[in-house]
């Protein structure tokens, strides 16, 4: 028995039965349509809020952004504050999503998609294991309405729950995972602990949630692993891993073309997972395990947009943003922009703009700027 009388079987309380009665639907928290980014109640990019599946259904929501403020599975604290930073550290002048437009494609994602902020999953701050069912349940309730969950981390252990929940919903052989990361995250355990930010892929494979061949990894480069034993386990499981040295030798565009081809080879659906440390620390200092020699935003952003436009994405996470290590807001800004590019790709797909690597021909210099 614990000090407050709770036993070992204590579960995270999730109870909205006492919430005031209201008509279901998204709630716009803005006092004014145009307001400064640093004013008002922070939601992701100033989006309306939904609190339950009835709101999502009533609003015809396409994408629900939800936070998972979890960091107790890693040796570096701070990622639990990532969701709040991604909502509140906005650096655009106005927090008005309707006015945002992709400079590369001239697509306005919030004109094409109904996107909302779904708040945070309930977390047990003392236990990763006890947090996973709550995360899985929240992801499931979003997906069951037909909306795409976009998850703000939190550390990468959340992928055990998020991908596992979607595999249960769609079928384990039907989902491919594109995993951007400096680290393999395939360890059986870290110092004896099996539920950590370094073990989600091992857990998902061993628990028969996702077959190894459906994992496509991009950007691995840490000198701490994989060692020979883990490297050979990855090969036996069929993981398709693109180390940073391959990108250095072949160029990122060629590798990205291969990644998209591989994730379409079998899986019907795609989950896109971004550990922000795949970026070079020059662009993402605010993370617990930075590794030199990583991707640039100029490589990452088109990749996110292309994968979301050219495949059938059913879930996205962006994890390991640690704002206390982010003095110039660089990490938060790049993480948010990656999500924006992913939303742009989803909007392009919804609008039928499915040609390979589409960019606006005028913005890209392929056509002369016309007089109007």
Does residue 123 lie in a domain region? yes
pLDDT for the residue 92 = 67
Does residue 258 lie in a domain region? yes
Does residue 26 lie in a domain region? no
Domain that holds residue 143: 46-350
- Is the confidence at residue 32, as pLDDT, over 90? no
Total domain count, the chain: 1
Contacts (Cβ under 8 Å, ≥6 apart) of 271? 162, 163, 166, 175, 176, 177, 178, 313, 314, 315, 316, 317
pLDDT for the residue 199 = 79
Whole-angstrom distance, CA of residue 244 vs CA of residue 161: 27
- Is the confidence at residue 356, as pLDDT, over 60? yes
Check whether the bond before 226 is cis (ω within 30° of 0).
yes
- Is the confidence at residue 352, as pLDDT, over 80? yes
- Is the confidence at residue 1, as pLDDT, over 50? no
pLDDT for the residue 19 = 74
Does residue 149 lie in a domain region? yes
Sorting pLDDT into bands at 50, 70 and 90, what band is 239?
very high
Q: What is the pLDDT of residues 203-227, one digit of tens each?
A: 999 999 999 999 999 999 999 878 8
Does residue 190 lie in a domain region? yes
Task: Indicate which CATH number applies to the domain containing 302.
Answer: 3.40.800.10
Query: Residues 274-291: what's their mean pLDDT?
Result: 96
Does residue 272 lie in a domain region? yes
**What is the DSSP secondary structure assignment for residue 136, as one 8-state letter?**
H
Query: Residues 252-266: what's their mean pLDDT?
Result: 97
The residue that leads in pLDDT, 306 or 17, is 306
Does residue 7 lie in a domain region? no
The residue that leads in pLDDT, 102 or 192, is 102
What pTM was computed for the model?
0.92
pLDDT for the residue 307 = 98
Does residue 170 lie in a domain region? yes
Under 8 Å between Cβ of 300 and 339 = no
Angle between helices 330-350 and 297-310 (to 10 degrees): 30
pLDDT for the residue 282 = 97
For all residues of the chain together, what is the average pLDDT?
A: 90
Q: What is the pLDDT of residues 93-144, one digit of tens each?
A: 677 888 899 999 999 999 999 999 999 999 998 888 889 999 999 999 999 9
- Is the confidence at residue 9, as pLDDT, over 70? no
């Amino acid at each position: 028995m614990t000090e407050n009388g709770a036993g070992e079987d204590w579960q995270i309380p999730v109870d909205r039965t006492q919430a005031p009665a209201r008509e279901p639907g998204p709630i716009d928290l803005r006092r004014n349509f145009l307001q400064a980014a640093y004013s008002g109640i922070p939601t992701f990019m100033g989006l309306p809020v939904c609190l339950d599946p009835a709101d999502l259904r009533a609003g015809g929501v396409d994408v629900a952004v939800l936070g998972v403020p979890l960091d107790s599975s890693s040796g570096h604290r701070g990622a639990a504050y990532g969701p709040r930073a991604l909502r509140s550290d906005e650096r655009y002048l106005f927090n008005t999503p309707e006015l945002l437009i992709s400079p590369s494609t001239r697509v306005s994602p919030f004109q094409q998609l109904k996107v909302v902020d779904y708040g945070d999953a309930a977390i047990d701050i003392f236990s990763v294991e006890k947090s996973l069912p709550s995360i899985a349940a929240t992801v499931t309730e979003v997906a069951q309405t037909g909306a795409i969950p976009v998850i703000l981390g939190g550390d990468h252990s959340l992928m055990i729950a998020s991908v596992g929940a979607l595999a249960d919903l769609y079928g384990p052989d039907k989902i491919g995972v594109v995993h951007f990361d400096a680290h393999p995250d395939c360890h059986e355990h870290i110092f004896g602990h099996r539920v950590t930010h370094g073990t989600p892929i091992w857990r998902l494979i061993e628990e028969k949630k996702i077959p190894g061949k459906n994992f496509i990894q991009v950007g691995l480069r840490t000198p701490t692993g994989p060692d020979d034993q883990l490297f050979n386990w990855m090969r036996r499981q069929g993981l398709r891993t693109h180390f940073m040295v391959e990108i250095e030798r072949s160029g990122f565009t060629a590798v990205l073309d291969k990644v998209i081809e591989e994730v379409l080879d079998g899986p019907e659906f795609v989950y896109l997972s971004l550990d922000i440390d795949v970026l070079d620390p020059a662009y993402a200092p605010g993370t617990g395990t930075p590794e030199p020699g990583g991707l640039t935003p100029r490589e990452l952003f088109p990749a996110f947009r292309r994968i979301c436009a050219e495949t059938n994405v059913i879930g996205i996470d962006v994890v390991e943003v640690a704002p206390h290590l982010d003095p110039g807001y660089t990490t938060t800004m790049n993480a948010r922009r990656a999500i924006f590019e992913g939303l742009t790709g989803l909007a392009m797909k919804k609008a039928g703009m499915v040609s390979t690597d589409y960019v606006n021909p005028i913005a890209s210099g392929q056509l002369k700027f016309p007089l109007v």
